[in-house]
Chains A and B, each alone.
Chain A
Amino acid sequence: MITVSHVTKSYFRDKIEIPVLSDINLVVPPGEFLALMGPSGSGKSTLLNLIAGIDKPDSGDITVNNTTLQTLNETELAQWRSRSVGFIFQFYNLLPVLTAAENVELPLLLTKLRKKERVKHVDAALKLVGLGDRMDHYPKQLSGGQEQRVAIARAIVTDPTVLVADEPTGDLDKTSAEEILTLLEQLNKEFKKTIVMVTHDPRAAEKAHVVRNLDKGELD
């Protein structure tokens, strides 16, 4: 369960305040697949980042699975992220010097798991996204769709309950995008992941149970 209540957020550019979110309220029940839509610059990414705990609101509360994020300090927040959310970016954000398997292993390095167990988890995650045969490939040896699937494997390898995805198909062709969306749907249905996905692709939004629109800092 994700609860966002009375959240506001502004950024400062050259000392000028730019209001991004004003009094946002949102409840995402467990197992929900929610799509956030809205014009560019409307604050979708900002809201997603707040939910994922990589940014802090100016005011208001965000609670994710009974954890109130603003009560955590930087270190606790980092630990919370490593256990509780998986993040999927538009541009995959894999480390180019590491193989697919190593990229997926990164979040596990923060756990107490031994190498053998880590390898088992990495294996399972990559097989789940259909890349069991690409373990030792470097990102530049993979297609965009494959890279995004590696990124999804990295997001789910620690088995978090919440996945946040910021325009996960924004940089992909139609077929690859379709594959990624199917995968997200599967993660939601079979593995009961709560998914919050930012998109401005109507086809992507179709897969979601709920679509919310953000405009000028306000949720409809």
Chain B
Amino acid sequence: MVVLKLIIKNSFRHTLRTALTVVGLAIAVLAFGLMRTIVDAWYAGVEMSSANRMITRHSVSFIFSLPLSYKDQIAKIPGVTGVSYANWFGGLYGDPNQWENFFPRMAIDPETYFDMYPEFIVPPDQLETFRRERNACVIGKKLADEHRFRIGDAISMEGDIYPGSWTFVVRGIYTGRDKSIDETQMLFHWAYLDESIRAVQPGRAGNIGWYVLEVDDPNRMAGVAEQVDALFMNSRAGTKTETEKEFQQSFVSMSSAIITSLEVISFVIIGIILLVLANTIVMSARERMREYAVLKTIGFSSARIVSLIGGESLLIAAIGTAFGIAGTFPICQMFAEAFPTFFPIFNVAPLTLILCVLIAFGSAALAALFPAVRASRMKIVDGLRAIG
């Protein structure tokens, strides 16, 4: 207990220095936690993907569309148990400089889409009314809360990919099956989009953005992909079929430069954590060389001296990390509220916390290493002559 007291008392001998170190560590840990959580949020779309869904898109890029006529042919392929389709709409809602106006908007097949996505839960009566009304839409709970949209409200916006003024009536609000489900989407009838565009640009009618395939057995996915793509190889629009996970990754990789820089920054932060801690521990240990020499004179082994220094380093690191982790949650919460639609899923992952703790322990050990080696190599007579 005396040794423990010695460690604790030593850690707080310079209250201001220790306090500044703890604050520095807490901020760095917090920044690391936030950084990791942003990266996780980016990849959340990939994690969300279902194991038995596939996406068929244009072979060149998903910005090119495919004819709706492929649907029946795809449905006949063995292993495919369901086919739906969707189309990116885009559009400008409200002030485009506000993040919360950036929610995803898609035209979908009202009959099949929600069967393919059981994680989007729509109350059955709402789904019924949605299906019956041409310009009806279903929106996510989070989006509804954010904009105070209620059932029956009309949402108007300007088209960009599809020019004109558009108005949708909210007929349903979906909730996610769990926290990882994006509740910020707006989904409306593909037929409404198609008939409107047919009137102004007939050439663009009859096309969809991508097909969603449900496959009975994930092991058959590779075979299904080959068959689908072979089927349309010589058509006007070739296809590329991949698992939903691969499809999502292709989105994410577009912003990989940003992700990479965030990851680099988080490594820099680890370096900062180490430096902040090492600076304090090196300083304290240097001031205590005489005391370590006295302890050695009494008969304390070098290993015991090392554990005193290591213990002090660990204690300060632990306190800083605890504050940092405690701060990570509210900061991430604030971040999520500030950019609700930009990062629909924004949770601090357990792995992030584990990493924080591991980094803290690792830094504590590394920071203590140099002074510990010095103290254990120090000759007692030299230490006793040291002023401190």
Contact = CB atoms under 8 A, between A and B. Distances in A.
Interface of A: 46, 49, 52, 54-55, 74-75, 78-79, 81-83, 87, 89, 93, 95, 97-98, 102, 105-107, 109-110, 115, 154
A82 B298 CA distance: 5
Given A78-B296, A93-B290, A49 B381 contact: yes
B9 A81 contact: no
A93 B5 contact: no
A60 B300 CA distance: 26
Given A74-B302, A95-B294, 12 more contacts: A54-B380, A54-B384, A55-B380, A75-B301, A78-B299, A93-B290, A93-B294, A97-B6, A105-B2, A106-B2, A110-B298, A154-B298
A55 B379 contact: yes
25 contacts: A49-B380, A52-B297, A54-B380, A54-B381, A55-B381, A74-B302, A78-B296, A79-B299, A82-B298, A87-B297, A89-B294, A93-B290, A93-B291, A93-B384, A95-B291, A97-B6, A97-B9, A97-B10, A98-B5, A98-B9, A102-B5, A106-B295, A106-B298, A107-B298, A110-B300
Nearest to B383: A54
Interface size class of B (residues with CB under 8 A): 20 to 34
B220 interface: no
A139 to B, nearest CB: 12
A102 B2 contact: yes
A6 B1 CA distance: 44
B2 A109 contact: yes
Contacts of A75: 301
Contacts of B299: 78-79, 81-83, 107, 110
Nearest to A115: B1
A77 to B, nearest CB: 9
B13 A97 contact: yes
B380 to A, nearest CB: 4
A108 to B, nearest CB: 9
B338 interface: no
B3 interface: yes
A97 B2 CA distance: 10
A76 to B, nearest CB: 11
A198 B345 CA distance: 74
A42 B302 CA distance: 30
B298 A87 contact: yes
Contacts of A109: 2-3
A82 B380 CA distance: 14
Nearest to B290: A93
A30 B6 CA distance: 36
Contacts of B6: 95, 97-98
Contacts of A74: 302
Interface in B282-328: 290-291, 294-302
A74 B302 CA distance: 9
Interface string B223-262: 0000000000000000000000000000000000000000
Contacts of A105: 2
A78 B301 contact: yes
Interface string B144-161: 000000000000000000
Contacts of A78: 296, 299-301
A81 B10 CA distance: 25
B44 to A, nearest CB: 49
Contact of A89 (B2, B9, B301, B384): B384
7 A-B pairs with least C-beta separation: A82-B299, A97-B9, A54-B380, A93-B294, A81-B299, A55-B381, A78-B299
Contacts of A52: 297
Nearest to A166: B384
A55 B384 CA distance: 11
Interface in B1-45: 1-3, 5-6, 9-10, 13
Contacts of A83: 299
Contact of B297 (A46, A81, A95): A81
Contacts of A154: 298
Nearest to A93: B294
**Most chain A beta-carbon neighbours within 10 Å: one of B294, B295, B299, B300:** B299
A215 B295 CA distance: 30
Contacts of B298: 81-82, 87, 106-107, 110, 154
**Most chain B beta-carbon neighbours within 10 Å: one of A81, A82, A109:** A109
A140 B5 CA distance: 17
A154 B296 CA distance: 14
Contacts of B302: 74
